[in-house]
Structure 1
Amino acid sequence: MHKILELKARREALLADMDAIVNAQGDDGDADWSAEDEAKFDALKAEDDKVAAQIARFEDVERRKAAAAVPVAAMPAAILANLSDAPAPAQAAEPGLRFARMTRTIAAAGGNAYVAQQIAEANGDSALFANQSAGIATQGGFLVPEDVSSEVIELLRPASVVTAMGPRFIPMPNGNLTQNRRATGANFAYGEEQTDAPATGVTFGQVRLSAKKLRGIIPISNDLLRQTSTAVDRLIRDDAVEDAAQIQDRYFLRGVGTESTPKGLRYQLVGTPMAASNILVFGATATPSIQQVDNELGSLELSLRNRNIVVTGAQWVMSPRIENFLMNLRDGNGNKVYPEMGDGMLRKKRYHVTTEIPDNLGAGGNESEIGLIHPSHVMIGEHMGIEVAMSTEAAYKDASGKMQAAFSRDETLMRMIMQHDIGLRHLAAVAWGTGVRWGTD
């Protein structure tokens, strides 16, 4: 089913291109229709016919599979034992619980969506898969329906430091997006009557987003999966959200950028003219004076202001060590230098704390970083939704790198996949302080 969705998205893009060519013609119709336009239109039309035929074939296979499906003769005894006396659960009011129940039910069905529907019905939860299309993927997974995956994504956004700032979210139906990035502004000047206005002076760069695949494996005890409990649903939901948010922040903030990983905001500036003005090296001292701390924080604000970024809308991001140092900073009378940090503010701007900004950077392994970001210039492109796959037999590595077997541990592994990328509409919207040793002694 996920293939059908990809093909339909591709066809929508083709039709949009065809429509653009037709609308570009003048009121005379064929009067402005060039040979080049006709060739482009015919090529798009041929590709659309091809995609339409592919969609028809896939849909025909789905119909045949549905017609050939037979009811399960008997539910597994272990599942029936847990479902026979279970009361019909109420519809989940909390966002994300429906995703967790779908995941738990699919896992109990061994990844088979048809069996999962039977389990849900036997469990008094027939509405769980009603009007939903849990398509079976080639890896034995399923594409979570859009309305369900959107609940999880909305929970993920405040859990992630970068997405909690309020950046711009942009859909990428085809997995790619290219947009102009304004590099310099227009030139305005006063002048005499009947003299030429100055040249525009506007120059553009480009920001290119391509879907990067974020994957995670979450081991779930089969004892939990056998239970029909809202508490279990919350556990599954929260594990998925918290783990995904942590890794997303790691790359959205400091990813160096490869073919398969996003380039984080810290490294978006590297190799550009903005690096000299917006990547600053702080004074390498563990116990700076109050004036020095204030000056260095102010220098990040000035980097944005010098590029006409409205600094009042910017937000800080820092490590827990830096937050602890700034919160404990006292003046000569014992008063807190930044009392507003108790309300989540620093110099009248919101701040965020994450362990994904390390404290062991630099040659001495004791440096950290602090960033100032204006989120309205940050773009996050999102492709498709959430894809989930289950396995009771696969192996996985635990936190220590030791290989574990799900079968021998009586676990089910949930693999969750999301696809997205991050970019900056205006590079000057990020200022980054490096070499921060505050609080190391």
Structure 2
Amino acid sequence: MNKSRKVGKYQVGRVVGEGTFAKVKFARNCETGEGVAMKILAKSSILKHRMVDQIKREISIMKIVRHPNIVRLHEVLAGRAKIFIILEFVTGGELFDKIVHQGKLPENESRKYFQQLVDAVAHCHSKGVYHRDLKPENLLLDAYGNLKVSDFGLSALPLQGDGLLRTTCGTPNYVAPEVLGDQGYDGAAADIWSCGVILYVLMAGYLPFDETNLYTLYSKITAAEFSCPYWFSPEANKLIHKILDPNPKTRIRIDVIRNDPWFKKKYAPVKYREDEEVSLDDVRAVFEDIEDQYIPERSEIKDGGPLLMNAFEMITLSQGLNLSALFDRRQDYVNRQTRFVSRKPAQVIISNVEAVAESMSLKVHTRNYKTRLEGISANRMGQFAVVLEVYEVGPSLFMVDVRKAAGDTLEYHKFYKNFCAKLKDIIWNPKEGKDSSNLLRTRAC
């Protein structure tokens, strides 16, 4: 059944992301009209998996590290059974998807993203915060193409007397060699290494350390066994080798990176209020008594059928007033989300999706025009899961939102391309019918 819900002052809309412990929905601040991302966590799940301290730390850190190149956390609310984290809504998708679509990026563009990344990381370090999971999938792009660091779930503050971190974490291909040991490591130096791997990936279009065998991968990382492609400029090559130094004591520091001649080309530090006061009162209130807090949740039940997408959501989804992105699957690389449009009835769409998924040996779970597909990842190292949701966006016009719920992003892109090829009979190309903008205009009015 369709639901229109409010949480506090926020009108809650479509799902834009889904993970193991949280769901992210688009929401609108009814007082300001601003679009936000609402991360929803079930208290029961947090308690069951003993994640209270980790979630509280992540939220507190995101409030502390306020910077134009870091996804902003606005506030935290608590319902009877859920916690709602209100975040800046970033529309440009993951930097990872841009690399997948374009391959290597031009050196000037790579440098711009690297400058913004280094500025964000330097700000974190100035607050005593170390991200520990920097990778292109955790770097988002806003509508203006500016980089935003996200996902502070593995970030940390040094707790030991020697100031070193102890937990081995992060994504293997981007992790610093000292993190793989058990002697403790400097969080700042480890983040710098990850920044160097990201810069290499931006300019090369592939990883400096990439082996299917983890032992071989770790051996190459520990020895910093890599080489730069011929198209890297000598200055970039030199800087990357200083960053990917396997010895954290001699590895280049952030302040030295920022004074490097290659880094300083066309460098324009972003301006922001460094003395902005940050209150953690809402965080304390939410977690002080996780069982008893309550924010009214009002649900307005409508007739059965697919969810209706309003004009505001459609405009936000299409990144401005250009609605062609809703219909052109070639433009979907900018989002982890992908989508297609169909003129077939909603039930026919779901039936076709289920049939194709079963032919691909995927488990299928459907409820209220929302389908979850599950299988084993191609490398057999974990679960692969996809969620599809049907929205009515015009008279006899439906949009199917497809998003990765679990598994590797690159594997998801390959799955989506193959999946759509098998669904070609129900996918509608607006060039073969009426003008798509007129159809959407009808719905928006």
Q: TM-score range by the shorter chain?
A: under 0.3
**Could you say which structure has the greater relative contact order, defined with CA pairs below 8 angstroms and 6 or more residues apart?**
1
Larger radius of gyration: 1
Q: What is the TM-score when the length of structure 2 is the normalising length?
A: 0.24
Larger helix percent: 1
Q: What is the TM-score when the length of structure 1 is the normalising length?
A: 0.24
